[in-house]
Amino acid sequence: MEYRSLGNSGLRVSVSGLGTNNFGGRADLEQTKAVMGKCLDLGVNLIDTAESYGRGLSEEYIGVAIKGHRQEVLIATKAGASGRPGTTGRGYLRNALEGSLKRLGTDYIDLYQIHYADPTTPIEETLAALDDMVRGGAVRYVGCSNFAPWQVVEAQGVATTSHFTPFISAQNQYSLLNRTVERELAPVCMKYGLGIMPYSPLAGGFLTGKYRPGEAPPEGARLSNPQQASRQLTDENFAKLAQLEAFAEEHDHTVGELALAWLASQPHVPSVIAGAMTPQQVEENVKAVEWHLAAEELRELDEATGWEQPGRGGMR
């Protein structure tokens, strides 16, 4: 397993990270333990969760699964609900942290992330609360998720002027089909010392190849939702998928492996957050990021997805 520094921090994270949104929902405790056991076997040390995943069961199940192995993993969890005012305020965050620590069965969090920016709470209050947690020893580092580039800049500026603990990571949606991160967020993160941890690297499952043009989505699949399907299952995306599948096949890989390998090849990405329901899927995710794409191959994929790097004409 390859390990990289997470932003300007002392955390060395596995390039293959584990997303746990399914734990406590689609995956029960025994499945969680099996997946976590395989992560420990293969050296996957970054385990990403949130207080909201499985209504708290994701953290609870992870706590059971890592008992006796706490020093072998880096726990990244999140607080702050989308659309709910006050969920990054001092009182809310203090209670949220206490709940996460209890469910995880640990006395510290390696990376505590703000899940969504809260427009009703001043960023100064949020950062002051996080700084207290770091100084108190319950949190080692802090990060953000779903922040716009300007919000990252604002937060880092406030942290600098107020001597608060700065963010070291940004977790945003990022894939071969959704590369908007590269336009502004990636340059901002590289300048201010944040590592980007992509979530939804398979574009909601679209980049697994299980969705086909002219066919109904598989029953129960994430993109079976009509609203999501209308955004993702487009002629343009299916045309891109065909080119990506051809590229992957030429290199004896699947398009899903290509999606993860491509993200792992980006200089601003220390770890790729990918979900897994079985130990086999953990193995597949690890194998995928071991594929190192050459510069010429990356340029070929830019053409396949109709993308020009920022500063060279923008997105076509």
Residues labelled catalytic: 53
Task: Give one DSSP letter per residue of 237-268, joined into a string.
Answer: HHHHHHHHHHHHHHTT--HHHHHHHHHHTSTT
Give the Cα separation of 35 and 274 in Å (integer): 12
Asked if residues 223 and 217 have their Cβ atoms less than 8 Å apart, the reply is yes
Q: What is the DSSP letter of 173?
A: B
CA distance 223 to 208: 12
Cα–Cα distance measured from residue 153 to residue 135, given in angstroms and rounded to the nearest whole number: 23
Cα-Cα-Cα-Cα dihedral sign, residues 170, 176, 181, 183: positive
Task: Give CA–CA dist 245/254, Å, rounded.
Answer: 7
Please count the residues of the chain.
Answer: 316
The tokens for 100 are 């996460």
> Among residues 152, 150, 151, 148, which one has the least CA distance to residue 169?
152
**Cβ proximity of 240 and 177 under 8 Å:** yes
Describe the crossing of helices 149-162 and 123-136 by its angle, rounded to 10 degrees: 60
